[in-house]
Structure 1
Amino acid sequence: MKGYTFYGFTEFIICAGYKQHYIKEWFADYFLHTSDITFDFTEGNRMIVHDKHCEPWKVTVVDTGLTTMTGGRIKRIQSYIGNETFMMTYGDGVCDVNIKELLKFHKKWGKIATLTAVQLEQSKGVLNVDSDNAVRSFREKSVRDSALINAGFMVLEPQIFNYLDGDNCIFERTPLEKLAKEGQLMSYTHKGFWQCMDTKREKDELEKIWASGGAPWKVWED
């Protein structure tokens, strides 16, 4: 959210589910968490707020259900989006993609959806195996073993809701496949930093990068 704010986008909708009340409570107390507070119990239980530090955000947290699939969650926020172009981002990855350039690219092509593509490299050594299942060689990974993947930073037009049909809809399957078949899905290639956080190992690595003070995705100032 701080990354989006850096590029001038400050209105957010969070598709919440499991333990969504924790997210709501965090935002409810955000103003207090980011300010210095004096609690004065000597004169009628006063609370004095000093040095107010908070983001210029408008945040709507929507309970989109415990078991709802990705497409279903987007469908559930349709009434909050209205008839506007909007951006959709997964909550498990960080990236230094230029959001304004992504939006500019999307508007240039005029399609229903644009995804950000990044090159995911093979992380292990590669085996060459013949038809008899015999290993013929073993080599280190190389650029040719990488593949473009969806980085999870997308721009969508409101027509996307016509491709979503309920809570069991998986956004990455039928909707995106249909858009691609119809020529309505564009790919914005990002050559900078991207990393998901799906495992404990990835979490530890990202926290190590953050602690170093050189996190590539931290484009904002404190």
Structure 2
Amino acid sequence: MKVVLFCGGQGLRMRDAENLPKPMVHIGSRPLLWHVMKYYAHYGHKDFVLCLGHRADVVKNYFLQYQECLSNDFVLSGGGKNVELVSSDIHDWRITFADTGISSNIGQRLRAVRKYVEGEEEFLANYSDGLSDLPLPQQLDDFHRQGKVASFLCVRPNLSYHVVATAPGSSLVSDIHPISNGDIRVNGGFFAFRKEIFEYIGDGEELVEEPFHRLLRDQQLIGYSYDGFWASMDTFKDKQQLEGLQGGGAAPWEVWKKPAR
């Protein structure tokens, strides 16, 4: 399947990254966008459509000047003149770079790349600001079994807030617990769409507003629940936590490093 990635937003809360598209903020030696693409490529989905906006030049130049040696073993010989890669990341990836507007919302970015998924019965999409070890084939099996237009990942929020309940008509607290321990689920941003999704998106509309409510009305929207690892990168603290996981050799989203079963 083709994979549509929304990567035109700004990293306004990322400290020193205000001038970068948020998916281009690095985790280790590679940007967040690369980690998302590497995840999909692991499952065989290597045809990407990048929805560009803010600082599109950063994304384009990154791949035009891509350095395989940063994340692959290689052999150097000839006094540094010869470089022999032991493995490669993107030699079999196909990447379409599409300008979808500086300030367009997600729904309009998706509409703007419709021509690049023309002829596809179904395709994948992602906000490109979150990582997960979601077994993608399982989500897709559920998507195909139910035969609906859209599926998205439902996860427990990775927030440090506590949910508080008070007694009726009183300020007396009756319950308090971490939000991640409750029944609240949020949109985790891993989408699977059938081509009919474009029939639900009107001019100027945001994806999860009017279009998703039309899908709800027609009973065409699936929420795929998953309780494994999921984390979004919205703040500098989130970036530090993800870098800590990767630096410690325990990055759950790096499914491509796990032994094949």
State the 1:146 CA deviation: 3.7
Are 1:122 and 1:146, in contact at CA under 8 Å, matched by a contact in 2?
Answer: no
Query: Could you tell me which residue of structure 1 aligns to residue 128 of structure 2?
Result: 91
Query: Could you tell me which residue of structure 2 aligns to residue 190 of structure 1?
Result: 226
Structure with greater Cα Rg: 1
State the 1:138 CA deviation: 6.6
Query: Could you tell me which residue of structure 1 aligns to residue 23 of structure 2?
Result: none
Could you tell me which of 134, 152, 160 is aligned with 1:115?
Answer: 152
2:68 is equivalent to residue 34 of structure 1: yes
CA deviations on 1:73-103 (whole Å, 9 max, x unpaired) are 0000000001311001111100111111111
Change (3 A) 1:184 1:19: same
Could you tell me which of 10, 29, 34 is aligned with 2:46?
Answer: 10
Query: Could you tell me which residue of structure 2 aligns to residue 101 of structure 1?
Result: 138
- The separation in 1 between residues aligned to 2:109 and 2:98, in whole angstroms, is 9
Unaligned stretches of 5+ in structure 2? 1-36
AA partner of residue 34 (structure 1): E
Deviation >4 Å, runs of 4+? 35-38
- The separation in 2 between residues aligned to 1:101 and 1:51, in whole angstroms, is 37
- The separation in 1 between residues aligned to 2:213 and 2:60, in whole angstroms, is 34
Are 1:127 and 1:135, in contact at CA under 8 Å, matched by a contact in 2?
Answer: no
CA deviations on 1:1-54 (whole Å, 9 max, x unpaired) are 111111111110111100001111111111xx114799x9xxxxxxx6622434
- The separation in 2 between residues aligned to 1:151 and 1:70, in whole angstroms, is 14
Query: Could you tell me which residue of structure 2 aligns to residue 44 of structure 1?
Result: none
- Count how many residue pairs are aligned between Structure 1 and Structure 2: 211
- The separation in 2 between residues aligned to 1:113 and 1:18, in whole angstroms, is 27
AA partner of residue 68 (structure 2): T
- The separation in 2 between residues aligned to 1:201 and 1:148, in whole angstroms, is 22
AA partner of residue 51 (structure 1): E
- The separation in 1 between residues aligned to 2:39 and 2:102, in whole angstroms, is 27
For 1:106-185, list aligned pairs within 5 A: 106-120=143-157, 123-129=160-166, 134-137=170-173, 139-141=175-177, 145-166=182-203, 168-185=204-221
- The separation in 2 between residues aligned to 1:64 and 1:147, in whole angstroms, is 33
CA RMSD after TM alignment? 2.5
Could you tell me which of 63, 77, 83 is aligned with 1:50?
Answer: 83
- The separation in 1 between residues aligned to 2:181 and 2:62, in whole angstroms, is 44
State the 1:126 CA deviation: 4.1
Change (3 A) 1:125 1:159: closer
| Secondary structure in 2 matching 1:169 | coil
- The separation in 1 between residues aligned to 2:141 and 2:163, in whole angstroms, is 38
Query: Could you tell me which residue of structure 1 aligns to residue 95 of structure 2?
Result: 59
Change (3 A) 1:122 1:139: farther
CA deviations on 1:183-211 (whole Å, 9 max, x unpaired) are 01112111210011111111111111111
| Secondary structure in 1 matching 2:177 | coil
If the length of structure 2 is used for normalisation, what is the TM-score?
Answer: 0.73
Change (3 A) 1:116 1:49: farther
Percent of aligned positions with the same letter in both sequences? 28
Query: Could you tell me which residue of structure 2 aligns to residue 43 of structure 1?
Result: none
Change (3 A) 1:14 1:122: closer
Are 2:165 and 2:176, in contact at CA under 8 Å, matched by a contact in 1?
Answer: no
- The separation in 1 between residues aligned to 2:209 and 2:163, in whole angstroms, is 28
If the length of structure 1 is used for normalisation, what is the TM-score?
Answer: 0.85
